[in-house]
Amino acid sequence: MHRLILALALFLTAPLMAELPPSAYEAMQAKAPEFLEVEVLSVGVKPSEAPNEKKITLTARVGKTFRSASGVGEGAIISITYSEVARPTGWVGPGRVPILKEGDKKVAYLEKGPKPNQYLPAAGAMTFQQF
């Protein structure tokens, strides 16, 4: 009987995915050096060298600057780069940064990248959403 209960428990919990708690995302957003409103001008999706990975490049115009350690201002054209990895069903871990569409207007929690006008997501799956 114990084996049946254990097998049932494993079967029912297998498809569940663990996500970070909201407080973790709120903390990342609060610490993000850049808090901007952006409009996506173009979206580039390219395969990566790694299997199941895509390289994402968003070109965006800054609409509003709420907070900026780099001094980026309204009207600036920036590049937001990140990777997306396809995970198998049942994978446990934090959510993915969404791939936005051309014309989307979103808030963005970012950090300065190594290249000029390059920025990186600073709040994981909640980079382009506000709590």
- pLDDT tens profile 63-79: 999 999 999 999 999 99
Query: Which residues constitute the domain of residue 91?
Result: 20-126
pLDDT digits (tens, 9 = 90+) for 28-57: 999 999 999 999 999 999 998 888 889 999
What average pLDDT is seen over the chain? 86
Beta-strand runs (E) in the chain: 34-47, 53-68, 77-85, 105-112, 118-121
In a domain, 70, yes or no: yes
Q: Does 131 or 5 have the greater pLDDT score?
A: 131
pLDDT at 17: 43
Tokens of 58: 């968003």
Total count of domains within the chain: 1
pLDDT band at 1 (very low <50, low <70, confident <90, very high): low
In a domain, 2, yes or no: no
CATH number at residue 118: 2.40.50
Per the rule left: phi > 0, alpha: psi between -120 and 50, beta: everything else, 11 is alpha
pLDDT at 95: 81
pLDDT at 21: 87
Per the rule left: phi > 0, alpha: psi between -120 and 50, beta: everything else, 12 is alpha
In a domain, 9, yes or no: no
Stated pTM of the model: 0.82
